[in-house]
Amino acid sequence: MAIEAGPIETAQPGAASRRPLGRLSRSALTRAGRAALLATGRAPVPDAIEPIVQAHRRHHPQADLALLARAYRLAEEGHRGQTRKSGEPYITHPLAVTMILAQLGAETTTLVASLLHDTVEDTEVTLDQVAADFGPEVAYLVDGVTKLEKVDFGAAAEAETFRKMLVATGDDVRVMVIKLADRLHNMRTIRHMKPASRVRIAKVTRDVLIPLAERLGIQVLKTELEDIVFATLHPEEYARTRAVVAAHEARPDELLQPFAGTLARQLAEAGVPAEVTVRPRHCVSVHRVMLKRAAAAGPDGRPQALQPADFGRLLVVVEENADCYAVLGELHTCWTPLPGEFKDFVAAPKFNLYQSLHTAVQLPGGEVAEVLVRTRQMHRVAEFGVVALGDPHQPADRTAAAAPAATGTPAGSGAPAGGDELDRTDPARPGWLSRLLAWQQETPDPDAFWTTLRDTLADDGEITVVTEEGDTLHLPVGASCVDAAYLLGEETGHRCIGARVNGRLATLSTVLRDGDMVAVLTAPTGEPPGPSADWLEHVRTPAARLAVERWLAGRPAAAPEVETGPADGRPVPQPLPHPPAGARGRAPVAVAGRPDTPVRLARCCTPVPPDAVTGYPIRGGAVAVHRTGCPVGERMREDGRGPLRLTWVPGAAPPNGYRVALQAEALNRPRLLADLTAAISGEGVGIFSADVEAPRDLRVRHSYTIELPGAETLPAVMRAMLRVPGVYDVYRAGAPREDVAAGPAADPPDGAAEVAAGRNGGDPADGAVRPSWGMHGRSAAFSGGSSSGAAGGPQG
């Protein structure tokens, strides 16, 4: 059903002198109609709103026409003497807007508010007067669409007006419905505006109003707005497309109409009652197909031309949901379906209430025809969106009749008409609107709000993903695992370190698809690694972006502070300052009883202060320094080399610094090696060697040998590596064997804190430098437990 675009005639002086209509003049017919109304006991209505009344009665036979008449009289009196840019009386605008809404099937309250929608803004009528005469509900709708004054808001008036309308729409979606009808009539008469104003209004319509019409499911408004915007902003391309459409319409349809007749006969023979029609594409839709054809080269290498089937689709309207699938069975049995073209929006409605079966079949001549299948009620919702669901504030028993169309719930099932706040079929508060209202509260700046609003509405659609716990998440197309994490809560987002998509490990930057199953993997409670600035590159939802930016803004010192010391409440020693230049080159370890004995730091366990270390004699009279419990050192002990007691020399350091072996466990992704090496180099540390193991189940291990200028820089390097997206654990290589064997109940030697799974074990906590613990140990998020590691040790 299309919305009529013709002008609405109002009573004009001299109407009686017009050409007679049959035997009776127009005035005589009007008097006869008024007499008929009086005879039935129904009060007459002004002639100007008679077309509106007729359109309204088709949807609401018992409508309160007296209320409409009172609203018209107040609007006509208030706007009397005002004219539009076209020179027409101003009252023609609210009449036209109300006619659009009446054709959509809006209820009486919406029509009353539509007649009065400009009175508070442009006349002497006040909002209190509207509330007193027509009730608070009408006053709320009128106030919701009333613009804010530029005198009060300046350049921010337009952005703040849309913010005000969005907030009002959150309580009553009819506010935006009236605004869309208002904009449609303004676009129909946009030719009377100045060129600069036409461009500005058309761009705002394109960026904000058309996406809102799409999200509310009001397809008839959306398509007409798209065509007018296209003609306004791109008149030459519109003229070319319009000429192509006109040329096609001038030729007889030798493809879709015969196919529609054949399909109708086939369905009748199968006993499926159905109405089959050809649904032409509107101008913008044809233009999109033209661009798609032009971009795809044909067999001869030239751009493809439009085919007859590109100008329309078949629409099959049936009575029951089950008939939709019966039609689909006949289509796929009698014609060849195209793989990948079938979409079931009946079982899984789109975010804007839309329900239909989509398929495409190949005809005998090789042409491809698209077919849409839906019930009558689905068709109403597909065309008129939330308007077809009636008053969102009606009791459930009055709106239950509209619920099956949007939810697929059988009539009479007793299902509530409203639903959960994030239910996409809730007419009072769609899920996308709830999210808009949530982030707009955190964006007080008008320019930032306006930019974010346009970017958000530019998203093509919405996807639905489910968590492994069964929760449903609604996200925009292109959303990543980071967006899903923040949708579960800001704290969950800050602590996320990875994700599992459809049972397989995935990076946080992974783009989710409709129907995916997602599990967000988080760091242990109380130890959030915090978001990285890199996350801003792959977040799509404003809420996630605002949360990440707010977290980063609260920590301007480049990086979050991640503790690497003991987590058992013991005091953490402060790091030593960098060693003086004169101390570099001195032996960092002293052998008890052998003051001038040369020492060599073992490469297997790379000890650094304040690790607990043990010395073993080697050739040449030197002493090898191993971390206590190092497997290599233990074999030397078993070979009969007596251990020597060692102490770290304060301020001393090897000539080239300390060499340390680190390992990073991460979720594999592109540029991970580059990001890790950049993080290490950013701390002023040299990389002696690097090794990357082959990925296993999307997990990968990177091993680095680095040269530290001083032992105190090791915790900062490990923190920097852990902040790289995808990295969920950083630890030192060469776990001491006895630490692993000791088990979770054993106390580490010399009072050192144990790191989970033997990682970084044997580091005493009472040295002058903070021990370099493994950053997370074995992450509980991957094992499904809540403890801090396999060995029960603390995690930093």
In the chain, % helix, strand, coil (3-state, to 5) comes to 45, 15, 40
- The DSSP string of 400-441 is TTTHHHHH-PPTTS---SS--TT-TT-SSS-HHHHHHHHHHT
* Cβ atoms of residues 780 and 788 within 8 Å: yes
C-alpha 296: how far from its chain's center? 30
Name the nearest CA neighbour of 755 among 738, 733, 776, 780.
776
By DSSP bridging, strand 368-375 and strand 472-476 are: unpaired
Instruction: Name the CA radius of gyration of the chain, rounded.
Output: 36
By DSSP bridging, strand 336-337 and strand 357-362 are: antiparallel
Tell me which residue has tokens 């060692």. Answer: 646
Q: Determine which one of 47, 50, 122, 344 is catalytic.
A: 122
Largest CA distance in the chain: 131
* Distance of alpha carbon 762 from alpha carbon 771, whole angstroms: 10
* Distance of alpha carbon 45 from alpha carbon 66, whole angstroms: 7
Buried b (16+ CB within 10 A) or exposed e, 572-581: ebebbeebee
Which tokens go with 41? Answer: 């006991």
Helices (H), 84-124: 92-104, 108-115, 119-122
Mapped onto helix, strand or coil, the DSSP state of residue 733 is: coil
Which tokens go with 145? Answer: 């669409």
* Cβ atoms of residues 177 and 216 within 8 Å: yes
Which tokens go with 265? Answer: 């006969």
Residues in the chain, how many? Answer: 796
The residue type of 174 is: R
Angle at 235 between CA 234 and CA 236, to 5 degrees: 95
Angle at 519 between CA 515 and CA 524, to 5 degrees: 165
Which tokens go with 8? Answer: 């609405």
* Cβ atoms of residues 611 and 749 within 8 Å: no
Q: Annotated catalytic, 182?
A: no
Q: Determine which one of 47, 50, 88, 121 is catalytic.
A: 121
C-alpha 167: how far from its chain's center? 19
* Distance of alpha carbon 564 from alpha carbon 714, whole angstroms: 10
Tell me which residue has tokens 């999109």. Answer: 288
Which tokens go with 302? Answer: 């030239």
Which tokens go with 308? Answer: 């007859």
Mapped onto helix, strand or coil, the DSSP state of residue 671 is: coil
Which tokens go with 330? Answer: 């006949």
The helices-and-strands tally (H runs, E runs) of the chain is 31, 20
* Distance of alpha carbon 549 from alpha carbon 634, whole angstroms: 50
Which tokens go with 403? Answer: 């619920």
Angle at 475 between CA 472 and CA 481, to 5 degrees: 90
Name the nearest CA neighbour of 579 among 765, 676, 710, 686.
710
C-alpha 317: how far from its chain's center? 32
Tell me which residue has tokens 């009175």. Answer: 119
Which tokens go with 130? Answer: 């509207």
Mapped onto helix, strand or coil, the DSSP state of residue 101 is: helix
Q: Annotated catalytic, 638?
A: no
Name the nearest CA neighbour of 144 among 170, 112, 126.
170
Q: Tell me the catalytic residues.
A: 121-122
